[in-house]
């Protein structure tokens, strides 16, 4: 099922996603489970995290949520380039999560031999916690159609034998990254694409077209059954 939600502008999109995010976590907890969420970096996602922090989220026990990442820039742990930096400062530190449930991707100044070894370690962690299935995966979309750090034409798009992979030649800096693979991202109850701005309109149209290739538009490789596209009008303008 693909659900399209359209908002006149980015502000409307941000507040709708923030409210839905809190509601989804509360819903999973009401079922007696610990929600498992894979977060994304990106401008619009960072705005959403700030909006969540500003909401009344007392319906959620934030210490009982597992946070993972769909991708991360392989830089030092304290680098402002990291995807986990904004969400950590603007949401996780504010609402008071359990640090043991925050599963950040490895950083370049940790003890792993290289980005590939770091990715393998993260894949092992995902696999060994809750069977590697998520309740919710959040994904930004690049103007080139990338999701997580799965970039057009790159070999990671064809890998279904690993949970996480290293990337050494990302076209978007920094070049070294860790990304979950399609099978890992698709092992989720739901995936939400968070997309704002006219610069994404072509990529959105290609991602949602009846036909097209995953190598041209990696977002097409996200085949989890329950997909919601959260779009503002500029991003939806070519649909």
Which residues of the shown chain bind ligand 6PG in the complex (CB under 6 A)? 40-44, 71, 73, 83, 140-142, 172
Residue with smaller CB distance to ligand 6PG, 29 or 79: 79
Peptide bond into 174 cis (omega under 30): yes
Cα separation of 64 and 26, whole Å? 10
188-195 and 134-140 as β-strands: parallel, antiparallel, unpaired?
parallel
The least distance separating ligand 6PG from the CB of residue 142, rounded to whole angstroms, comes to: 4
The least distance separating ligand 6PG from the CB of residue 231, rounded to whole angstroms, comes to: 12
Residue with smaller CB distance to ligand 6PG, 28 or 167: 167
Neighbouring residues of 162: CB distance < 8 A, sequence distance ≥ 6: 119, 120, 123, 181, 184
Neighbouring residues of 186: CB distance < 8 A, sequence distance ≥ 6: 222, 223, 224
Residue with smaller CB distance to ligand 6PG, 126 or 178: 178
The least distance separating ligand 6PG from the CB of residue 44, rounded to whole angstroms, comes to: 5
The least distance separating ligand 6PG from the CB of residue 180, rounded to whole angstroms, comes to: 11
The least distance separating ligand 6PG from the CB of residue 217, rounded to whole angstroms, comes to: 13
Residue with smaller CB distance to ligand 6PG, 70 or 123: 70
The least distance separating ligand 6PG from the CB of residue 187, rounded to whole angstroms, comes to: 19
The least distance separating ligand 6PG from the CB of residue 22, rounded to whole angstroms, comes to: 21
Residue with smaller CB distance to ligand 6PG, 60 or 75: 75
36-39 and 66-69 as β-strands: parallel, antiparallel, unpaired?
parallel
Residue with smaller CB distance to ligand 6PG, 35 or 140: 140
Neighbouring residues of 176: CB distance < 8 A, sequence distance ≥ 6: 73, 74, 75, 108, 115, 166, 167, 168, 170
* Both tokens assigned to 162: 């690993």
Residue with smaller CB distance to ligand 6PG, 8 or 199: 199
Please spell the DSSP secondary structure of 127-148, one letter per residue: HHSGGG-EEEEEEE--TTS-BT
Per the DSSP assignment, residues forming a β-bridge with 228 are: 3, 192
Which of 71, 103, 76 is closest to 167 using CA atoms?
71
């Amino acid at each position: 099922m693909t659900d399209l939600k359209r908002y006149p502008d980015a502000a409307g999109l941000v507040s709708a996603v923030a409210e839905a995010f809190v509601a989804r976590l509360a819903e999973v907890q009401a079922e007696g489970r610990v929600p498992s969420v894979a977060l994304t970096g990106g401008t619009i996602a960072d705005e959403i995290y700030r909006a969540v922090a500003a909401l009344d989220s007392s319906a959620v026990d934030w210490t009982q949520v597992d946070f993972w990442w769909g991708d991360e820039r392989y830089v030092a742990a304290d680098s402002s380039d990291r995807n986990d930096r904004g969400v950590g400062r603007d949401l996780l530190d504010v609402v008071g999560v359990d640090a043991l449930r925050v599963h950040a991707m490895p950083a370049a100044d940790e003890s792993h031999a290289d980005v590939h070894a770091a990715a393998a370690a993260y894949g092992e962690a995902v696999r060994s916690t809750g069977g590697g299935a998520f309740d919710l995966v959040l994904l930004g979309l690049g103007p080139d159609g990338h999701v997580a750090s799965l970039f057009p034409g790159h070999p990671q798009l064809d890998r279904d034998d690993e949970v996480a992979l290293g990337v050494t030649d990302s076209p978007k800096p920094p070049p070294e990254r860790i990304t979950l693979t399609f099978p890992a991202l698709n092992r989720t109850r739901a995936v939400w694409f968070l997309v704002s701005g006219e610069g994404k309109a072509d990529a959105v149209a290609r991602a949602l077209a009846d036909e097209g290739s995953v190598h041209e538009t990696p977002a097409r490789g996200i085949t989890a059954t329950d997909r919601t596209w959260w779009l503002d009008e500029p991003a939806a303008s070519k649909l």
